[in-house]
């Protein structure tokens, strides 16, 4: 918080019974280090980072030997195993670069609570880089929304192939649409903010915001702050939220949301009790009843067609 010109949180009398500050350990030279738990948060995990989210990052070395982000949709030119292996390798390379940015303090780390503190007391800018599907559900009051990736609306052979692959690899469960790089992201940021502006960059889980920080740093921005864990890690008292849904629910969707099988919904159910769980239990029972009715209906149609043939 000293980097923002604000007093440390410890000096304030703030009630935070449900909040635990995630400290980033420092060396005597004040160099940031990730713990093993923090590093694991950058690894792709099932239904945390969808295939479409990961495949939208295509990372290659440039001709000068410097790693640059090439934001293009990944074409399915290899089989599924090679495709997943490439994603893992690309993410590992990106994670090393992002870790270096944070360790060398080129990008400062803030917890969601520290970000809220900076926004309210010093009018710092929160740059929300989430796609429209997440932003429309909930957003931080006063934030500026410029997505680094957004829903891919193109319809061509390559895009359809990517969308089908994304859906089959978990999109049906997580509800995550196919995303593509927003080529207006950097021009819009440069149009609205000088390069000496303090920018607090945030996304839902903390992955895309790191990619945005790298892109902005390479473009000359030097006062960058990354919200560790993303907006999903924020508690209700950390940020002033607007929108129709809780901020923690902005990143869920698909069948998992409908049935209440996401971690966020389980946490809510543990707090709100059986009345909350009953809604999703009723939905699950309804699915079984509909499936049973369809099965019985198919049997009846089969018998009817068989009778027609016999006559």
Reference 172, options 249, 255, 271; nearest CA is 255
Q: How far apart are CA 239 and CA 268, in angstroms?
A: 18
What are the C-alpha distances in Å from 35 to residues 25, 45, 108, 122, 278?
8, 18, 16, 29, 39
Whether 162 and 73 have beta carbons less than 8 Å apart is answered as yes
Q: How far apart are CA 201 and CA 144, in angstroms?
A: 10
- Indicate the angle between helix axes 274-310 and 263-272, nearest 10 degrees: 120
- Which of 16, 48, 203, 213 is catalytic? The answer is 203
Reference 245, options 138, 135, 128, 133; nearest CA is 138
Is residue 203 annotated as a catalytic residue, yes or no?
yes
- Residues with Cβ < 8 Å from 156, sequence gap 6 or more? none
* Beta strands 139-140 and 241-242, pairing class: antiparallel
Q: Which two tokens stand for residue 73?
A: 């949709």
C-beta atoms surrounding 67 within 10 Å:
15
Just list the catalytic residues.
Answer: 203
């Amino acid at each position: 918080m000293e980097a923002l010109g604000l007093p440390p949180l410890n000096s304030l009398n703030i009630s935070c019974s449900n909040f635990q500050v995630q400290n980033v350990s420092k060396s005597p030279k004040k160099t940031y280090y990730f713990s093993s738990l923090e590093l694991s948060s950058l690894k792709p995990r099932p239904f945390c980072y969808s295939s479409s989210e990961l495949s939208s990052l295509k990372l290659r070395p440039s001709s000068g030997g410097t790693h640059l982000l090439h934001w293009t949709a990944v074409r399915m030119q290899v089989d599924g195993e090679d495709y997943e292996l490439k994603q893992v390798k690309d993410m590992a390379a990106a994670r090393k670069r992002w870790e270096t940015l944070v360790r060398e303090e080129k990008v400062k780390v803030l917890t969601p609570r520290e970000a809220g503190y900076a926004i309210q007391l010093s009018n710092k800018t929160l740059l929300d880089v989430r796609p429209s599907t997440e932003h429309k559900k909930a957003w931080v009051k006063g934030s500026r929304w410029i997505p680094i990736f957004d829903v891919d609306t193109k319809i061509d052979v390559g895009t359809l192939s990517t969308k089908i692959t994304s859906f089959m690899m978990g999109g049906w469960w997580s509800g995550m649409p196919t995303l593509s790089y927003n080529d207006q992201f950097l021009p819009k940021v440069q149009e609205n903010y000088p390069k000496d502006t303090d920018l607090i960059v945030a996304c839902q889980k903390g992955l895309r915001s790191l990619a945005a920080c790298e892109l902005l740093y390479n473009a000359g921005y030097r006062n960058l702050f990354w919200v560790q864990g993303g907006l999903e890690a924020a508690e209700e008292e950390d940020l002033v939220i607007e929108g129709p849904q809780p901020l923690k629910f902005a990143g869920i969707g698909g069948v998992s949301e409908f049935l209440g099988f996401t971690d966020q919904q389980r946490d809510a159910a543990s707090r709100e009790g059986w009345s909350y769980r009953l809604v999703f239990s009723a939905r699950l029972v309804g699915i079984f009843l509909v499936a049973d009715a369809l099965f019985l209906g198919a049997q009846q149609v089969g018998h009817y067609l068989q009778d027609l043939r016999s006559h």
